[in-house]
Each structure stands twice: as C-alpha cells, then as structure tokens.
Amino acid sequence: MTKPRYDTHSTEFGLWLREQPEIDSVLGYVATNIDFFWKNYKTGEFMLLEEKRYMSEPAYFQTKIFDQLKDAFSSDPKYKGFYLIQFENTNPDDGKIFINKKEAKKEQLLELLQFKYSQGEHK
C-alpha cells in the first residue's frame, strides 16, 4: 500500500498520486522528489541536493533512485555530484549542518553552492 503523507509538504497532485490504486506501490510504483537541481547557468555546472531536516535520512527507495540519477549524470563533466544536506533542526541558522554525513559550517555550505566544496562529494 502506498504510504500516506503525515505532513502537509505536498502538492495536490502529490496527494492525488498516493490515492490512485492503479499505481499503488505494491505494484512497484515509487516516486521521490529531488529537492534541488542546483545549477550555475553561466558555467553550466550542476549538482543534485537532497535536504533533510531534523537529521532524518533518505528512505531506502530514495537512495536507490538517487544512485540511478548519479549514474545517469556521471559522464557529464559539468555534473558536480549528489549531496545529502542534513540540518540538526530546519536550516543552517538554527543548528548544525551536515554535508554527506560530515559536519560542516555555514561557510562550507555556501562554498558547496558555489561549486567550490569537494570534500565528501558523491558522484
């Protein structure tokens, strides 16, 4: 059975998808949103970012989808990786920050967003 949402962080379409028996997860259908496709339109560099609040972890099926996306982009020299960004609370200003499971400072997060941070990169 498709897992219901227990929060209000969805669109009407996202909620509708979960209610359709023809595409239930028991039939193999899964979906995940990608939090950020981050790109510098001037340089063409891009990366994928998954944000988790309160130190939550991606679901198993999410990691499989993310791995598939990483593989699909890996041959593109403009692709700069996939990053899991976890917040102790909700954002960089109200607690600790972790990039790919390593604690980071706000300045390191900003460097990542400028394509200057490479430690812990997952391509």
Query: What DSSP letter does each residue of 36-94 carry, written as one string?
Result: EEEE-TTT--EEEEEEESTT----HHHHHHHHHHHHHHTT-TTEEEEEEEEESSSSTTS
Whether this prediction's pTM lies above 0.75 is answered by: yes
- Average pLDDT over every residue of 21-32: 94
Q: What is the pLDDT of residues 52-106, one digit of tens each?
A: 999 999 999 999 999 999 999 999 999 999 999 999 999 999 999 999 999 999 9
> Which of 4, 43, 39 is CA-nearest to residue 24?
4
Contact 102, 108 (CB under 8 A): no
Nearest to 33 by CA among 44, 22, 46, 48: 48
| Predicted confidence (pLDDT) at residue 9 exceeds the cutoff of 90 | no
Domain locations along the chain: 30-113
In angstroms, rounded to a whole number, what is the distance separating the alpha carbons of residues 97 and 119? 14
DSSP summary character for residue 13: H
